[in-house]
Chain A
Amino acid sequence: MREILLVKYGEIILKGLNRNKFEDMLVGNIRRAAGDEWIASVKKSQAIIYITPCEGRDIDALATRISKVFGIVSITRAGVFEKDMDTILEKGSEYLAPFMENVKTFKVEAKRSDKKFPYNSPEISRLMGGAILSRCHRLKVNVNAPDALVRVEIRDKEAYVFSDSAVIKGHGGMPVRSNGRATLLISGGIDSPVAGYMMAKRGVELEAVHFTSPPYTSELAKEKVVNLAKIIAQYTGGFTMYVVPFTEQQLAIRDNCPEEHLTIIMRRMMMKVTERIAKKNKSMALITGESLGQVASQTIEALSVTNASTEMNVLRPLIGMDKEEIIQIARKIGTFETSILPYEDCCTVFVPKHPTTKPKLENILKSESKLDMDYWVEKALEDTEWIRIEAE
C-alpha cells in the first residue's frame, strides 16, 4: 500500500488573486525543506497539497522534514487505495486501525470528485463506518463531537483514506519569501532568535547580523550564535549571517563617551552598521528582539533614541511580550537550551554601572560627537565576514 501526505495551509488561501503565487512559494519551500530525492510529486487541489514520497522513503521522516515549513497548518498521513469499494473498506479500515488506538469515538465523512463512482458519499460513509466498527469493537460512532474524523476521498484515479487523529500540527504563518527580506540583529540571548522566528513566520526572508568582541567574547560564543542560526534555518531554510568584529568600536566608545551612555551609543552604532549591510542586500527592514522595559536600553525613551539612528523600519515582534512568554516560544522552537549556554556576548562586555534609563536624543548625540561615528561604521563594514547558515 502507498501512503501520501496531505498538507493543509491556512492564511494564504485568503490571498485572492495572489493565491497561486503563495501556493507555489509554499510548495517550493516544502520541496527545499524535504531535500532532493524525497518528494516524487506534488499536486494542489482545493486548498490541500498532496505529496507523494519517493519510493522507499519513510512517510513519518518526510513529514518531520517538512513540518517546520511556515504556511503549513497541518500534515496528515493518508493511505492510497484502488477505486474498488471492497478494497477501500477492507484495506482502508485495516490501515486506519493503528491511528484509532487512542480514540473512543469517530465519524466518517466521504467525498467523491468522481461522480461516476457507483456509491454516493452518504453510502460510502455508512459502509466505511461499519467496516471500522467490525474491526475495532470498542469504538463508537459520534456524529456531533467525534474524537477522530475519518475521511474517504474518491478521486479521479484513486481513493484516499485518512483520519485527523493521524495529524501533525504545523507552525502556521506564511511561506518564507512571501513578505520581503529583513535583517535580524542576533545575539546569543533568548530574545533575538525568537524575534527572527516570529518575523520569518510572517513570510519574511531573513538575513542576520552578529557582533563579536574578541577577545572579550570567545570563539565558543560565536559558535553558539551559529548554532542558534542553524536552528532558525530549520524553519526558514538557509540564510546568510554577517559577523561584525566590534571590539575596537566598543573600546573607542568606552574611552571617549560618558560611561552611562555606553550601551545606548553601542546599540546606535550597531543599528547603523546593520542598516548599511541591509541596504546593500536590498533588505527592507531591521528585526530586533527588544521587549519594552526588559532592560535599561529597552525603555521607551531608550528605544526612541536607538530608533533615531536608522531611517529603516525596525520590526520588534517581542515588544509587548513578557520574558516568560518569550521563553515559552524559545522552548517550542528549540533555541532555549542553546541560548542559555553561559558565554559572554558582546552586549554584556562593557556594561555601565548605572546606565541611563531615560536618555534624551540631544544628550546622546552630544556624547556621540566625541566619536568619529562614520569612521567606525566604515571600519566595521570592512572587517565584516559572512557565513552561510544551513539547517542542521
Chain B
Amino acid sequence: MIYLDNSATTRVAPEVIDVMTDRMKNTWGNPSSTHLVGREAGKMLKEARKKVSEYLGVSEGEIYFTSGGTESDNIAILGGANIKKGKRIVTTLIEHDAVLKTMDYLEAMGFEVVKVAPEADGSIDPYKVIDAVDDKTVLVSVMHVNNETGAIIDIEKIAKGAKAKNARVMVHTDAVQSFGHIETKPYKMGVDMMSVSSHKIHGPKGVGVLFIKSGINDLKKSVFGGGQEKDIRPGTENSFAIAGFGKAVEMIDLAENERIARLREKMKNELLGLGRVHYNGCENSSCYILNMSFEGVRSEVMLNALDSKGICVSSASACAGGKHKSYVLAAMKAKFADNAVRFSFSRYTTEEEIDKTIDAIKEIIRLFRR
C-alpha cells in the first residue's frame, strides 16, 4: 500500500499511539475534577498545551483545545462575526467548507460576505483581500495553505494591510494544511485567531486547537456548556487525544521539508514529462501537496485504477467524497479540472513510493487515456 493522501489524513505516528495507550490506561480522569485522578489528567492537558504553545510561540492561555479544524473554524468565525461592530466579512473562494458553509450561514443572518477569487494558478493576491476590507469590515478569514493545490497565501501581508485599513478588523487563518509543514507563528503573521488540526500531522482525529490572541474577550459564543477551555469550547476535553496531539507536535521536524520538496519536484517533473499532463498550482506552494491533471483520463478513473494497485490518492478534498467537482479548481477556471488528482505527502513518504506511483500512472495512461 502506498499512501499519498496525507492532506485528507495522516497515519498516526507509533510514538503517538504509545503515549495515548499509556494515558488511556493510567491517566483517565476528568481534567476538571479536583481529586488526585482528575489532577493527574489536568497535568497531562497542561503538558500538551505547553507543547503546542511553545511550537506556535504563544502563551498557554492562548491555546484552546477543540474537536478539530472544523470546530476551530466555526468557533473563530461565528465568534468574530459581531454584527454590532460591522456587517462585512472578507474571505476567499478557495477556503475549506468548514469556513465557506459557516460564511453561508452568516450571510443568511444578514452579513455581507465578500469572497475573493483566486488567480489562475490558485494563489490569492493579498491586495485583492486587502482591497475588499472597508471600515464596516469586522472579520477577515483566509486559509494559510490551500488543501487542494498547496498554494501558500501571504497571511502576514493580508493581516498587516487589513489592519492598516481598519484597525478594528479581526484576522483569522485556517492553518490546518500548513501547521507542522511550514512555519506558523501567529504573532509573526499578525493574526488574531488560527485553526489547526491534529490528524494532519500524525496525531489522532477528533482534536485540534484554536489560537485566540490574548486580549480578545468579546468573541460571540457558539458552544455552551460546563465552562471548559475558558468556556470557549465547553465539554469534557478529549484528553487522550490531546496528549497524543502534544506528542505529535513535539515530533514536528521542519527540516524534513527539504527531502519532501525534492520528491515533489521529481514527481512533478516526471509526470509533466509524460505529455498532456498539467500542473494545477502556483510557484509558492507547500511541498506536501501536488495537484496534477492527466488529460484524457477522468479523475475518478485515475483514482480507481491507482486504488486497485494499492495506491491511495484523491481528487478534490476527502470531505467532498463521491462525485463532487472541485470548487477550488473551478474557481481557478482550470481547464482540466475533471482530470485532476491530488498527491499529498508526509514524513513517511519514500522515493521508492514516488517511483512506483509514477510507473503505475504511466501504465494507467497507456490503458485508459482517450
Chain A residues with Cβ under 8 A from B364's Cβ?
Answer: 215
B interface residues with partner A (beta carbon < 8 Å): 300-305, 307-308, 322-323, 364, 368
- Interface check A60, CB cutoff 8 A: no
Instruction: Report which residue of B301, B302, B303 has the largest number of chain A beta carbons within 10 angstroms of its beta carbon.
Output: B301
Instruction: Report which residue of B302, B305, B322, B364 has the largest number of chain A beta carbons within 10 angstroms of its beta carbon.
Output: B322
A interface residues with partner B (beta carbon < 8 Å): 214-220, 341-344
Query: Given that A215-B368, A216-B301, A218-B300 are contacting pairs, would A341 and B322 also be in contact in the complex, using a CB cutoff of 8 Å?
Result: yes
List the 3 shortest-distance A-B pairs measured between CB atoms, nearest first: A215-B305, A215-B304, A342-B322
Closest to A221 in B: B304
Q: How far is the CB of B68 from chain A (nearest CB, A)?
A: 24
Beta-carbon contact of A216 and B322 below 8 Å: no
Q: How far is the CB of B8 from chain A (nearest CB, A)?
A: 15
Chain B residues with Cβ under 8 A from A220's Cβ?
Answer: 322
Beta-carbon contact of A214 and B323 below 8 Å: no
Beta-carbon contact of A342 and B323 below 8 Å: yes
Q: How far is the CB of A246 from chain B (nearest CB, A)?
A: 14
Beta-carbon contact of B300 and A344 below 8 Å: yes
Q: How far is the CB of A361 from chain B (nearest CB, A)?
A: 30
* Cα distance, A216 to B368, chains bound together (Å): 9
* Cα distance, A216 to B364, chains bound together (Å): 12
Would you give 20 A-B contacts (Cβ < 8 Å), ordered by A?
A214-B308, A215-B303, A215-B305, A215-B307, A215-B308, A215-B364, A215-B368, A217-B304, A218-B300, A218-B303, A218-B304, A218-B307, A219-B304, A219-B307, A219-B308, A220-B322, A342-B322, A343-B322, A344-B300, A344-B323
Beta-carbon contact of A214 and B322 below 8 Å: no
Beta-carbon contact of B305 and A214 below 8 Å: yes
* Cα distance, A218 to B305, chains bound together (Å): 9
Chain A residues with Cβ under 8 A from B303's Cβ?
Answer: 215, 218
* Cα distance, A216 to B307, chains bound together (Å): 12
* Cα distance, A342 to B320, chains bound together (Å): 12
Q: How far is the CB of B259 from chain A (nearest CB, A)?
A: 31
Chain B residues with Cβ under 8 A from A214's Cβ?
Answer: 304-305, 308
* Cα distance, A219 to B300, chains bound together (Å): 11
Closest to A216 in B: B301
* Cα distance, A67 to B98, chains bound together (Å): 43
* Cα distance, A215 to B304, chains bound together (Å): 5
Q: How far is the CB of A252 from chain B (nearest CB, A)?
A: 13
* Cα distance, A347 to B52, chains bound together (Å): 52
Q: How far is the CB of A94 from chain B (nearest CB, A)?
A: 45
Beta-carbon contact of B308 and A343 below 8 Å: no
**Which of A215, A341, A342, A343 sits near B301, CB closer than 8 Å?**
A215
Chain A residues with Cβ under 8 A from B305's Cβ?
Answer: 214-215
